[in-house]
């Protein structure tokens, strides 16, 4: 995917990233996932963003050029992956929250023995990173370079009527904006069950 298409506001990049494919090559093999759920994180005006309090060693990749991968370590055991957006010097990123494994299913299953079914393999940000084998060594890789260990492939932009949005997950901020985006109906979305239940109650 061309870097220019990601050098935009995180909220806009979020919509653009849905449906795209993230592919990771490791010594064990290749796993790819179609992105079905993301969250936008802005810069100095977003209290929930890692870059809110300025540049640090941890968040430095968020301040770099668009199209690079920002990987961070959380809760003492998990990794989460983001696509950096905006231009060099302006922080912003999109957290990849869930995907559908499109190739390398066997390896993904090996890495995620707790997954109950296919859509469980990469349902959740740490699960997605785990299924693709993403870890600290991938922090900062250029996703637009075909030679990189991790690549991002674009798709036709998804039509707005297939995109749903809501508040971000795991963000305590009360006045939270609807900056989580997902593909309507995808079973790999982290809140699929809850969402379906609400739909059923309405009918």
C-alpha distances out from residue 74 to 7, 87, 95, 157, Å: 26, 26, 13, 31
Nearer to DNA, 62 or 146 (CB): 62
CA 130 to chain centre: 12
**Tokens of residue 126, six digits:** 């740490």
Residue 45 touches DNA, criterion: CB under 7 A: no
Q: How far is the CB of 187 from DNA (least distance, A)?
A: 14
Does the protein bind DNA through residue 62 (CB under 7 A)?
A: yes
Q: Which of 74, 88, 137, 184 binds DNA (CB under 7 A)?
A: 74
User: Judged by CB under 7 A, does residue 76 bind DNA?
Assistant: yes
166, burial (CB in 10 Å: exposed 0-12, middle 13-18, buried 19+): middle
Task: Tally helices (H) and strands (E) across the chain.
Answer: 4, 8
- 14 makes contact with DNA (CB under 7 A): no
Which residues 99-128 are close enough to bind DNA by CB under 7 A? 112, 114-115, 124-128
Block residue for tokens 């100095």: 44
Which range touches DNA (CB under 7 A), out of 20-28, 71-79, 102-110, 152-160?
Answer: 71-79
Q: Is 30 in the site for DNA (CB under 7 A)?
A: no
Cα–Cα nearest to 125, from 45, 200, 41, 62: 41
Among 75, 160, 175, 203, binds DNA (CB under 7 A): 75
Rounded Cα distance, 18 and 21, in Å: 9
Binding to DNA by residue 198, rule CB under 7 A? no
Q: Which residues bind DNA (CB under 7 A)?
A: 39, 41, 48-51, 53, 56-59, 62, 70, 73-78, 80, 82, 93, 95, 112, 114-115, 124-128, 169-172, 190, 193, 197
């Amino acid at each position: 995917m061309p870097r220019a298409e990601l050098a935009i506001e995180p909220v806009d990049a979020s919509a653009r990233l849905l449906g795209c494919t993230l592919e990771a090559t490791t010594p064990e093999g290749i796993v790819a996932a179609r992105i079905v759920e993301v969250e936008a994180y802005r810069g100095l005006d977003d209290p929930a963003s890692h870059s809110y309090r300025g540049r640090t060693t941890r968040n430095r990749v968020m301040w770099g050029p668009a199209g690079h991968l920002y990987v961070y370590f959380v809760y003492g055991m998990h990794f989460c992956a983001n696509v950096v957006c905006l231009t060099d010097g302006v922080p912003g990123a999109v957290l990849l929250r869930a995907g559908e494994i499109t190739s390398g299913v066997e390896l993904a299953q090996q890495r995620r023995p707790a997954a109950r079914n296919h859509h469980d393999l990469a349902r959740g940000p740490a699960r997605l990173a785990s299924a693709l084998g993403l870890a600290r060594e991938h922090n900062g890789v250029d996703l637009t370079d075909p030679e990189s260990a991790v690549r991002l492939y674009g798709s036709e932009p998804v039509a707005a009527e297939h995109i749903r949005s809501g508040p971000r997950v795991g963000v305590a901020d009360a006045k939270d904006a609807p900056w989580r985006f997902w593909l309507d109906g995808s079973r790999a979305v982290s809140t699929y069950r809850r969402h379906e239940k609400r739909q059923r109650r309405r009918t």
